[in-house]
Structure formats: C-alpha cells, structure tokens
Structure 1
Amino acid sequence: MAPANAYFHSAGERVLADGKTIPPGQHEEFSDYIAAASFIHSADSWAYLGRALHAVLQGDVHGAVHLCYYAELRAAVSLLSTEGIYIGNRCTLALTNAGAVEVSGAGTHVAAWMVLDSWARSARARDLIGKILRPIGAPLHEWANNMGSGIQPVIEGLLNDIAFDLSTFSEDRNRRNHVSYQPTRVEPDDLSADESARIVDDVWTLLEPESRGTFPVLDRLLLRHLAVGVFAPTHEVVGADGMPTGLTDWTDWAAWLDSVAPGGAERDPYFASIRAKPNDATRDGSLEAAFTRNQGAPTTYVREMILRTTLLARLSTGACVELLDDSGLAADDVSTWVFGLGEARALWADDVPDPMVDLWADAQVAKEELEVASKTSHHALIKGMREYLAVLGQAERVAAWSFAS
C-alpha cells in the first residue's frame, strides 16, 4: 500500500469523516488498505497469542486470557478483511462491486463476532476453508468430496466442533472483561508449572511448518477429527435391544479411509497411523482441547481458549496467503514488510533467515528446552528456559515464515 493512499494514516477516522462510506473515487484505495490490513492484523494476532503463551509460562493465567482474547479478535478481523469486510469503530463495511455497504453500526468487538458468525455459515466460508486447509498435501475439499457428504457438512461440523459461533466468542469477551477488570487473586487460581508447559508445548507442536504458509501438523490433526466425525455416526454399534450403544464399529474404518484419501496419502506416516488407530490421545491430544467448552475459573478454560485462537489464527493466515496468491502477487511483494517486523520484534540477530521458514529452528530448540526444563515451580521453569523463554513468546514468527519466502 502506497503512503499516498488516502487510508494510509488513520483509516478509521477517515471513514467516519466521510460519513461511514467510501467515496467512489477512493474505492480502489480502500480495497488496497483492507487487503494490506489483513496481513497486519494476522501478524498482530500471532503476536498477542505469543504474549499469552509467555504469560502462561510465567503463571499469569488471567493475563493470558486477556491477551488471548485480543489475539482471537485480531485473527477474526484479519480473516474478514481478506473477504473485503472492514471492521471499524461503530462502522462495519462490506466491499461490493457497487461500492462499500455498511452492514453494522455496532462497536468493534460486537460487530466482529456478529459478522464472523454470519460469514462462517456462508458458501464463501466453506469454499475458502476447503482450499486453505491442506491435510497431507491435498486441499480439504478433495477429502470432503470423496467422503460423499461434500464440503458443506464437513466444514459446518468443523466450525461447530471448535465452537466457532457468536455465543462462544461473546463468552470469551465476557471472560476478557472478568480477568481485565476484576481483582485476580481474591481466590487464587493457578496452573502448575507442568500444566503451563504442556499448554505452550501443544501450541508450538501444532505450528511446525513444512514450507511457506503450511501447517502440516495442525491440518493433519483436523483431518483425523473430521474423518472420525463423518465415519462414526454411520457406523454405530447397535445393542441387543436394537438401540444404538453410543460406541463406534471400526471394522470398516481402514477401507473407508482408503476410499476417501486422495492419491499418495497412503505414503504419509500420519495417515498410516490413523488408518491403524483412529483414536490415540497421545498422538492427537495437542488439539483435542480445542473441541471442549468448560465453565468456571480461568484455569479451566485457558487451554481451550488458546487452542481455539490458534485455529482461528491459522485460518486467517491461510486466508492471507490465499489472497496474496489470488491477487497475482508473491511472497517477495510482502517481504520488505516482514523484514521490518522481524527486526523490530528481534526474531533474528543479524542476517535475515533464508528461507524464512528457518525461523522454526529457534522455536524447535526452545520447545526441546521446555520439554527438559524443571517444572517443580514456575520460577524453576523460567530460570531453566533462559533465553529460550522469549522465543516461545514470539508467535509472530508464524506470520513471518508464512508470508515471506
């Protein structure tokens, strides 16, 4: 986006000054602004998530919930921006061929979740998610079409399972309000150092890349969850009384999975693993908490909130990469911005990583240090992590290796 763009400085104020509309002559400039903003919101989402992870490691659960909510919000705004939807202060606009149309006058937080809830039910959402999730190298829509049910019920099932709805995000906002404005230690509520470490380890396990813009571990785990969700309801064990027992008959699982897999999937070790054993808590546990909904004190829900945010941030990042590819641009076109982000956030010492995905190496070492660090207390954990503690709080690394090559 050029500095001469009318929305380069204080876009929100400019929109309000123009009466919550976009003058016809500035439609292209506003489109450029929204497109650029989608990448920045995505990176900011990862940054907030990283700070939430850092807070978890330091034993600050309330701070983690506060930061996680803003990571969630920024990911939502990023995702909607890639779809041409501007979320502003009491002004939400949708770009159309005829110009910008106001779709809500609600505040930023209310509007973001309301519009996201509506978007998630649309054909555009199904098409986009079906393209950007690529388990075992094939887009999700290929797997879904082979399952016979098509992409619609598969995507709807995924979004429902991760509580991707207005009520959940509104609840997360209420949780943010509670931890941000109420005294935090009237009734102490703390995670153990071991519990904190497991949350952070699970998130970084999900983030391991294969190449620019890929999330192979996360996408594979989502595939297993979706496949089981499609197979199990039609293969229930029936009791002697003719009534369903709530158990699944896995007899035909391997043959069914073979029939829905795109070519080449059989060579993937994870595919072979879920083919042999569809449910394995040790293998799949890093993601499963994202599909739960707990009530109570922050320690009961911080894990699921962080994992749900990780999924939403993954979707927003994938949408940004898809937008870049669809526009005919390439990673080099955003590299200068990524370089500036990396230097400002101390993601590297001197030379820019080449390829950018090499940023994962630091995270991998930090993850290994986390696994062996003492967890007798948060103090022992922090002291044992040394400089690697900072790395595990730099989740904007994901934006850097996803957007630049």
Structure 2
Amino acid sequence: MSIPALLNTDKPKVRLASRKAVEEYFIRCAAAGGNDRWIDEANRYRKLTTKTYEADESSASVHHAALIEYISASAPTHLIDGWSYLGRTTDAILRGDLNAAIHFAYYAELRAAMSLLACEGIGVFNRKHPIIDKSGTSTSPIKRTQLWDRGSKRYKKQPASTHGTVWPLLHHWGSLKRAENLIEGLIAPAGYTLRQWLDALSIPSSMRAISKKWLRTWGTDLTRLTDDHDSRNMSSYRPSELRLAPAPSAPSAIEFVADLWKLFEPATGGRFPQLEKELLKRIVRASGKPITADALENNLGMPPATAANWQRYLTNPDEPKPLTLSDKNSDVDQTDCSFQVASRAALLLFLATGSTRKHLIDAGYSSDNLEFFWRRLCEVRFGGPANILPDEPIDLWDDIEATISEAEAWSAAASPNASLGEWRKRQPAIMNQIVSLELAAVWGLVA
C-alpha cells in the first residue's frame, strides 16, 4: 500500500503548530459571555472556506486572524459532525445498509482526525492546508505531500488533497511528544493517569508507543480507504445492489450498537469511564504481566476490596465487541467491515472529544456557554422540544440505557437469525432513539 507522507520541510510546521492560539481563541469567546455560536457570522472564512482561503493565499492576502479563528472553531464543529456521521452509521447498520454504513463511518473517522488536528492549530482544507505557526498570529500552508512510487522506487511529490493529507498530518503529529502528553492526560481510570497505572503494575510500556499505535490503528481507514480508491468508491459511488454484503442478524447488530453505547456511558467531567477502563485493560493484557491486587494496594493506595475488584477486571478476557473489531480489517464487501470502521471512528472521536473539551475547560467555559449548542442538537436529534429537556444533559443517559435494555431484551428472546426488518417492526420507537450518538458529543463537551 502506498501511503502519502509529509515533505520533510513541512514537518516542523506540524511540530511547532500553535495549540496555544486555539486555546486563546476560546478564552476570548468564554470571556465574551452569552455565546450563541461557535464563530462570528462576519468571519471571512466561515462560508466558502477553501475557495476563499486558496484565493487569498494565492494573492498573498490571507486574513490570518480570521483564519486562526476559523481553524479554532472547526475543532468542536468537526467533532459534532463526526459524531453525527457515526449516528448515521449506526442507523445504516440497523437497517442492513452496510455500504452506507461504511461511507458514513469513514467520514466520521475523517472528521475526528480533522477535529483533533484543528485542536492543535492544524487546518485540513482542500488543496492548501493552513497551520498556525509558533507565534500564534500567522499561518503557513502545506501544499504538497509525497507518495512512494513503486516503479521508480522513490518518493514523488503530489498535490495535497484532503484525503491524501489528513493521514500524513495525523501520523506525524501522533509521533510527537505533544501527542503523547495530550493522550496520556485524556485517560485516567479511577483518577489515576495511565503512567501511574503502568508504573504501579511494573509494566514498562512507553506512552509514546501506545499513543502512536492507537492513532495508527484507529486512523487506519484514512490510509486504507484513501489508498484503495476502488474500495472507498465502491461504498460511496458504485451501486451497492451489484455486490451486497450479507446483512447482519438483528441480534448481532443490536449487540454491536449496544456495546458501542455502553462504552460511552457518561460521567461528570466529560469522561467516559467505561471506555477508559477498557483501554487500560487492553494495555495491561498486551503486556503479559501478572496483575496482583497487592501491587494496586501498595503502589496506588487502593483499599483491599477496591484493588481486588480491579485485579479481577483487568484479568477478565471479555471485551466489548467494538474494541475487538477495531483491530480487524475486512474487505468492504464483508459484513463486519462496517462494524470495524465504525469502531475505529468512535475511538478516534473519543480522543478528539477529550482534546476539544480540554480547550473549553482551560478557557473557562461553563455549561451555560454551551447551552446554545446542546439544547438545539438534542431538540432536533433526540428528545425535543427544548423546554422538556433536562437541565443537565448527562441525565439523558437514563433514556438511552432504558432503550438499550429494551432492545437487548427483544434480542435475547428472538431467534439468533432474526432479521433487522423484523426487529424494527417490533420496536420502531427504540430504533429511532438508539441511533442518536450525537449525545456523546454533548456529554463529552458539556457534562
């Protein structure tokens, strides 16, 4: 597979990109109070973004302040769109429309990467991709990437398309110390950092290696489906009726979607503790190290009963279906492919959500600052009208949990080969609610 890479001359732009400038944008927004939008309506790049920027860049008339505002504001907005695409993915899976599911899941993964990069001060546009420089007041573009040519056995430069540039940017950023530091700070099972857990259990794993592996695995479709144009085009542009993958049974699809929801059960502070625990367990199991309750008592100060519970959990081989599937790569005409791409998109969205939330919290955002976003979204996509929504969006989990339980109860009583059509006929209201994964964006940014 030929994977595009950044030019060596562009790598310092990524290394020195200003995350601080993005944070300062949100500090100004929070200080203004009473926010009702992510960006000023008069911003030059709010509409016709790429066309306006390319024209300005060609004429050396870039409005850097407006462009920095746009890149900053695109972090939460790409994220929200990414979760919406993932919601449409689950809707397509539960209708047996697997080609549409792959299409939506790929774009959920793409938007997650774009949000994560925007948090770092890196814009992903069309053919020119602006990066906020170290000063935080100006930008410079990436215009070319390079692709390995098998015939000449050397790299050749090529125009920096969106799909061909997002992975080189994400891959290089993921190799940097700044990515390691960010990811380590986003995951803290039971309030302990990953480094504290690994040290307590005498696991010598490098956090840099872990973060690089996660980004490489969870973003794999940005390389695989970009390089393999035929595969991506088959899902997005070619008639699906000519090569239908076998539809999943209703119990199989329900299990996958239910497990996905459970990974994103929210907690206060915008955390997803079940997913954080599962990611820790993956690291621990991959190490092959014996896990004892004594080590947790002595090194983390856990009470004996708590340490024993964690020891049992960390040595339990059971794993939610999305995590298992995230490591696998089936052809696009196989039933599990849509599940696999959806799983990876959800995990990359998890990182992008944590990164975006960090900006908002560090800038002093309160739930009141974000009410304009979450009430509108929930009214339209989940539980409207707005005046009956709870004061705290985390309370919506109770409705989702009840919905999942009803779907699982039907599945347990149904034939293992029951069709999705049969299930939807029996539980149409459940089908309508169980695909509202936009709620994860709300919980991650607001709760």
Please report the TM-score for the alignment, with normalisation by the length of structure 2.
0.77
* Counterpart residue number, 1:66: 103
- SS of 2:400's partner is helix
| Aligned 8 A contact 2:175 2:208 in 1 | no
Which residue in the other structure is 2:265 paired with? 208
Partner of residue 48 from structure 1, selected from 57, 64, 85: 85
8 Å CA contact 1:158–1:226 kept in 2: the answer is no
- Post-superposition Cα deviations, 1:19-56, rounded to whole Å, max 9, x if no partner, equal 269857x4333222222211111111111101110111
2:395 counterpart residue number: 358
SS at match of 1:373: helix
Q: Is the 8 A contact 2:293 2:304 kept in 1?
A: no
Distance 1:3 1:170 in 2: 33
Q: Are 1:101 and 2:140 matched, yes or no?
A: yes
The farther-off stretch of 372-381 and 312-321 is 372-381
CA–CA distance in structure 2, aligned partners of residues 39 and 172 of structure 1: 29
For residue 281 of structure 1, report the CA deviation from its aligned partner: 4.4
> Structure 2 CA distance, aligned partners of 1:90 and 1:145?
44
Alignment pair present for 1:381 and 2:423: yes
Match of 1:17 in 2: 55
Question: CA contact under 8 A between 1:76 and 1:116: conserved in structure 2?
Answer: yes
User: SS state of the match for residue 33, structure 1?
Assistant: helix
Counterpart for residue 232 of structure 2: 176
User: What is the CA distance between 1:185 and its match in structure 2?
Assistant: 3.0
Letter in 1 for 2:100: G
The equivalent of 1:394 in structure 2 is 436
- After superposition, the Cα gap between the structure-2 partners of 1:262 and 1:325, relative to the gap in structure 1 and judged at 3 Å, is farther
Paired residue for 2:188, among 111, 121, 134?
Answer: 134
Deviation, structure 1 residue 389: 1.0
Measured after TM superposition, the shift of residue 220 of structure 1 is: 0.5
**Residue of structure 2 aligned with 1:292, choices 312, 328, 332:** 328
TM-score by length of 1: 0.85
Q: Is the 8 A contact 2:225 2:231 kept in 1?
A: no
Select the residue among 107, 113, 119 that pairs with 2:173.
Answer: 119
Letter in 1 for 2:231: R
8 Å Cα contact 1:228-1:278 kept in structure 2: yes
The CA deviation string for residues 364-395 of structure 1, in whole angstroms up to 9 with x for no partner, is 12111210225522122112222121211111
Q: 1:187 offset after TM fit, Å?
A: 4.1
Look up the match of 2:349. 313
Alignment of 1:246-257 (within 5 A): 252-254=290-292
Q: Determine the C-alpha separation between the residues in 2 that align with 1:45 and 1:81.
A: 13
Cα distance in 2, alignment partners of residues 80 and 267 from structure 1: 41
Encode CA deviations 1:323-356: one digit per residue, 9 max, x unaligned: 1122333333222122222233244333332211
Q: Distance in 2 between matches of 1:11 and 1:288?
A: 38
Q: State how many pairs are aligned.
A: 383
Secondary structure of 1:87's partner?
A: coil
Q: Secondary structure at the match of 1:19?
A: helix
Contact 2:116 2:356 in 1 (8 A): yes
Once the two structures are superposed, what CA deviation does each residue of 1:302-333 show, in whole Å capped at 9, x if it has no partner? 22211111100111111110111223333332
Decide whether the 8 Å contact of 1:347 with 1:394 is kept in 2.
no
CA–CA separation in structure 2 for the residues paired with 1:385 and 1:91: 47
Q: Counterpart of 1:382 in 2: which secondary structure?
A: helix
Could you tell me how far 1:285 is from its partner in structure 2?
4.5
- What CA RMSD, in Å, does the superposition of the two structures yield over aligned residues? 2.8
Q: Judge conservation of contact 1:145–1:151 (CA < 8 Å) in 2.
A: no
Show structure 1 runs of 4+ deviating over 6 A: none
Counterpart in 2 of 1:151? 207
CA contact (8 A) 2:163 2:222 kept: no
3-state secondary structure, aligned to 1:298: coil
Amino acid in structure 1 at the alignment position of 2:334 = P
Question: Does the C-alpha gap of structure 1 residues 395 and 380 become closer, same or farther in structure 2, counting only changes over 3 Å?
Answer: same
Q: Is the contact made by 1:62 and 1:298 (CA closer than 8 Å) also made in structure 2?
A: no
Aligned to 2:46: 8
- The percent identity for this pair of structures is 28
2: distance between equivalents of 1:314 and 1:266?
31
**CA separation in 1, counterparts of 2:428 and 2:48?**
40
Q: Determine whether 1:57 maps to 2:94.
A: yes
CA separation in 2, counterparts of 1:80 and 1:402? 18
The 2-side partners of 1:297 and 1:188 are apart by: 7
Which structure 2 residue ranges, 5 or more long, are not aligned?
Answer: 1-38, 145-159
The 1-side partners of 2:219 and 2:441 are apart by: 24
2:282 counterpart residue number? 225
Tell me the CA shift for residue 293 of structure 1.
2.8
Q: Please state how far the C-alpha of 1:152 moved relative to its aligned partner.
A: 1.8
Would you say 1:86 and 2:123 are equivalent positions? yes
CA contact (8 A) 1:104 1:111 kept: no
CA change 1:173–1:195 in 2 (3 A) is farther
SS at match of 2:435: coil
Q: Which amino acid aligns with 1:170?
A: T
Which AA in structure 1 matches 2:441? A
How many angstroms apart in 1 are the aligned matches of 2:271 and 2:116?
17
User: Bigger CA drift: 81-90 or 353-362?
Assistant: 353-362
Local SS of the residue matching 2:241: coil
3-state SS of paired residue (1:81)? helix
Q: Is the 8 A contact 2:256 2:321 kept in 1?
A: no
Which letter maps to 2:434? L
What code does the residue aligned with 2:257 have? Answer: V
